[in-house]
Amino acid sequence: MIVIDEKRIFEEIESRKPVSVALNGPDGILPKIQETASRIMEMFGIPAYVLADSCFGTCDMNTNGAKVLGAEILFHIGHTINSTSFGNGVVLVDAFDNISFESVAEKCSREFSGRTVSLVTDSQHLHEVDRVRSVLENGGVRVVVGRGKGQLNDGQVFGCEFYPVMETRDRVDANIFMGQSNFHAAGVALSTNRPTFVLDPYFNEIRDVTEFAQTLQKKSILAVYKAAEAECFGIVVGLKEGQFSKMAALKFKRELEGLGKKVQLFALTDITDDKLRNLKDVDAFIQVACPRISTDNQFHKPVLSTPQANALVRILRKENPEGIFQIQHWL
């Protein structure tokens, strides 16, 4: 069950006495966020708006939505990073999953005894890392936890940011991702090129996502080679604040035009196949927002992420494009 650190929210409201507040977080915990918003309204008698658009990370906080509503504080819940606020207007609030890993960690220690693993997780399960580590070590598994960097804590990854596992990849036999997210675990497998397993406490199972990640990689590489045949490219700037990368878009424009390609520039908040189908005379797209939009979705034409677009440029220059995803940060 997800537990939101409401104490932090209530203390902040008590001390700052805002006229209204807004709250958001990942889709999966919206029902919990609704409950918190109701409690705020009851306790403090102020409007508490739930920003219910999809919210995939601290890259996607929708502070504009909070501003338009006149909310003085935006409580962004459930994307723990190594800081607690963004300026004065955004307060980052932890939300932890209180499920126990005890049983699945025991199972894992039997399966991986004698091997070395890198233990990694997402925001919701960070507090369990030490406990799982000691269960595994007691069972004879050598465990390393990579150092955090950028916004990441030790042993934490985002869907596009992998510093801790990249630091440990040459020392381990496998990565063990604690949680349920095949999405995060596949990113770990792709970036490190190491066997990667999900330690799922809900199903009490250890899932191998290595093959799934390889399928994503093959599909992504195919899209790059298809795009290499394109004449006209649409370069899409994402309008979500933490994914905004106009400079990268202009860099790809310059590079592709230098290679004799035509380029049109677009901007979108949500980059979906339906939206891209409306755009004419484009053979392939490059989107410089969330890289997982390209790797994890189906599109009617090639839609490359930033690492894929870098590989495309290398191919067009007759250079070696290898290691597309074996980088610490895909943006």
Q: Please report how close the Cβ of residue 305 comes to ligand SF4 at its closest, in angstroms.
A: 9
Residues 160-219 contacting ligand SF4, CB under 6 A: 160
Backbone angles phi, psi at 274, to 5 degrees: -60, -45
Residue 80 binds to ligand SF4 (criterion: CB under 6 A): no
- Residue closer to ligand SF4 (CB basis): 168 or 191: 191
CA-CA distance, 79 to 94, in Å (whole number)? Answer: 7
- Residue closer to ligand SF4 (CB basis): 30 or 59: 59
Q: Which of the ranges 10-18, 33-41, 55-63, 219-227 carries the binding residues for ligand SF4, by CB under 6 A?
A: 55-63
CA-CA distance, 249 to 265, in Å (whole number)? Answer: 8
Residue 59 binds to ligand SF4 (criterion: CB under 6 A): yes
Residue 25 binds to ligand SF4 (criterion: CB under 6 A): no
13 to 16, 24, 40, 48, 81: CA distances (angstroms): 5, 16, 9, 11, 21
- Residue closer to ligand SF4 (CB basis): 162 or 197: 162
Binder of ligand SF4 out of 23, 51, 56, 287 (CB under 6 A):
56
Residues 263-292 contacting ligand SF4, CB under 6 A: 290, 292
CA-CA distance, 70 to 66, in Å (whole number)? Answer: 6
Residue 148 binds to ligand SF4 (criterion: CB under 6 A): no
- Residue closer to ligand SF4 (CB basis): 48 or 293: 293
Q: Please report how close the Cβ of residue 52 comes to ligand SF4 at its closest, in angstroms.
A: 17
- Residue closer to ligand SF4 (CB basis): 57 or 302: 57
Q: Which of the ranges 9-17, 122-130, 155-163, 277-285 carries the binding residues for ligand SF4, by CB under 6 A?
A: 155-163
Residue 57 binds to ligand SF4 (criterion: CB under 6 A): yes
- Residue closer to ligand SF4 (CB basis): 168 or 295: 295
Q: Please report how close the Cβ of residue 30 comes to ligand SF4 at its closest, in angstroms.
A: 16
Q: Check the CA dihedral 166-167-170-173 and report its sign.
A: negative
Q: How many residues bind ligand SF4 (CB under 6 A)?
A: 10
Binder of ligand SF4 out of 121, 123, 192, 243 (CB under 6 A):
243
Cα 265 versus chain centre, distance: 25
- Residue closer to ligand SF4 (CB basis): 194 or 292: 292
136 to 112, 130, 132, 142, 199: CA distances (angstroms): 8, 10, 6, 8, 12
Residue 248 binds to ligand SF4 (criterion: CB under 6 A): no
Residue 158 binds to ligand SF4 (criterion: CB under 6 A): yes
Q: Please report how close the Cβ of residue 309 comes to ligand SF4 at its closest, in angstroms.
A: 15
- Residue closer to ligand SF4 (CB basis): 168 or 181: 181
CB 39 within 8 A of CB 56: no
Q: Which position's Cβ is nearest ligand SF4?
A: 159
CA-CA distance, 135 to 121, in Å (whole number)? Answer: 16
Query: Which residues here bind ligand SF4, judged by CB under 6 A?
Result: 56-57, 59-60, 158-160, 243, 290, 292
